[in-house]
Amino acid sequence: MTLLNNTNDGLHSELIVLFRAIAFFNSITYEDLLNFCLPKIMGENDDAVKIRLRGSLNNWIKLGLFKRNDDNVELNDRFGKIKKSDIDSYTNELSNIALEFVCLPKNAIPIWDEANNQGPSGDFVRAASWLLAQDIYTFPTKWEDVESMAARQSMMQSPIIQNDFRWGNLRFWMRYFGLATGESSSFKIDPTSAIKSQLKSIFGTNKELPAKDFLISLSNKLPILDFGEYRKEVEKNLNDSVWRRLNSNELSQSISFGLRRLELKGAIQLRGKSDTGSSYRLIGSGHRQWAGFESVVWDKKNES
């Protein structure tokens, strides 16, 4: 199974329930975990609920967020031993942490369907990379239009998004991971939250970073964004006659939108000019240039 082909693997609601239960017990047997997380009052779809919960658990064990220690299930070692009083705060960060696991090379590569041998999150990083490279102001919301656009742009035999079912799951996961907003009819590509989640680890003890250093660090953490390895892999297989390739110092509309929103909220400042060799340019609606910047300043006090 892959992240988007999850008929029986559930979505983020199952992930959250499983995470909180494992964090509470620290270590719990596989079957006890499933029994604990199942609703106490079941209805007509009780078998389907069990199947989705089990599928979700197996999927996130495969992705490495959870680990199986003999018959017990535990959180990945990066969490350490979580205090019960901290479970809520970790739950709030779960979407950011889960996205990092989804983007790990061992899970994402190969991103194209090579004899059904793609990584367990390969279909997600491929589709998300493609969406984040699009014109976010004119991107369609209906599957038929999305499918047609992807077919025209792609030079690969394997489809970027395989069917309308995976298109629906892609939108669910992108919203949860902070890469999009809106419901089906108002879906909007918007990586603001995902970018914001990485600011602390990117800046560390620094307050200001050169624009290039900031963007490369961000792309290393989230390779589906501009300059990231997955993004470059998808972009090199797009047809320039129907997709606008950016100049080397231009940023995609998606990351431009996210950075501009963060600046307006006071979380960052984009400093510098647009006409210097070390600057990058934000691109807005109609591919017009918004502004250029040479460095990024992090204002931790205004991050929230």
Tens of pLDDT along the chain (304 residues) come to 688 876 667 889 999 999 999 999 999 999 999 999 987 755 555 677 888 899 999 999 999 999 999 999 999 999 988 999 999 999 999 999 999 999 999 999 999 876 567 788 999 999 999 999 999 999 999 999 999 999 999 999 889 999 999 999 999 999 999 999 998 889 999 999 999 999 999 999 999 999 999 999 999 999 999 999 999 999 999 999 999 999 989 999 999 999 999 999 999 999 986 555 668 999 999 999 988 999 999 987 766 5
**pTM (2 decimals)?**
0.93
DSSP 250: B
Q: For residue 64, give the amino acid letter.
A: G
Q: How far apart are the first and last CA of the chain?
A: 36
CA-CA-CA-CA torsion for 99, 92, 261, 237, nearest 10 degrees?
10
- CA-nearest of 120, 297, 99, 102 to 180 is 99
Q: Which domains does the chain have, with CATH numbers?
A: 12-90 (1.10.10)
